[in-house]
Amino acid sequence: MDELDTEIIRLLQTDARRSNRELARTLGIAPSTCLERVRALTRRGVIRGYHADIDHAALNRSVQAMVSVQVRPLSRAVIESFKNSVSALPEVLSVFVLAGGDDFLLHVAVQDLDHLHGFLLDQLSQRREIAGFRTSVIFQQVRKPVLSRLPDPA
């Protein structure tokens, strides 16, 4: 992970469809060198994939919410099973397993408030392992598509 790798990562985060040639030109290196770097990064698992960023409205997901959940008993089996079930639901974008007051945080995106209500009642309220949950509708999100590499912990 030298300076060059860091820069490659930064550029591919910004625009994953950049051609290898253009990438090489920007970095001032030969295309074959650049290609080999990208392949090495992929082989090492640094680059995990390339995804198109789609407008949520086009996916009929204009309403987003965060749902914090507590489950009981807080056992490995319950946590695993809950995590797997909810991540399979189409409404759920992300599942976070948390330390602290809440056990899970679910990021969900649905058509409208009616469907959010329906999701909470049909998919969460019914579960016996849920000790409680709290829903916060998301008014706005600022997401950073390009992450810088932080300095080494030193």
Partner DNA sequence: CGTGAAATCCATAAGTC
Partner DNA sequence: GACTTATGGATTTCACG
- Tell me which residues touch its own copies (CB under 8 A): 1, 9, 12-17, 45-56, 58-61, 66, 83, 87, 90-102, 105, 109-112, 114-115, 134-153
Tell me how far, at minimum, the Cβ of 90 lies from its own copies, in Å: 5
Contact call for residues 103 and 69 (beta carbons, < 8 A): yes
Cα gap 133→120, rounded to integer Å: 9
Q: What region does 28 belong to: left with phi over 0, alpha with psi -120 to 50, or beta?
A: left
Of how many residues is the chain composed? 154
Is 10 or 117 the residue whose CB approaches DNA more closely? 10
Residue span 11-50 as binding mask against DNA, x where in contact by CB under 7 A, dash where not:
--------xxxx------xxxxx-xxx--x----------
Tell me how far, at minimum, the Cβ of 80 lies from its own copies, in Å: 10
**List of residues 6+ apart from 11 with CB closer than 8 A:** 18, 23, 26, 27
Q: Residues in the site for DNA, rule: CB under 7 A?
A: 4, 19-22, 29-33, 35-37, 40
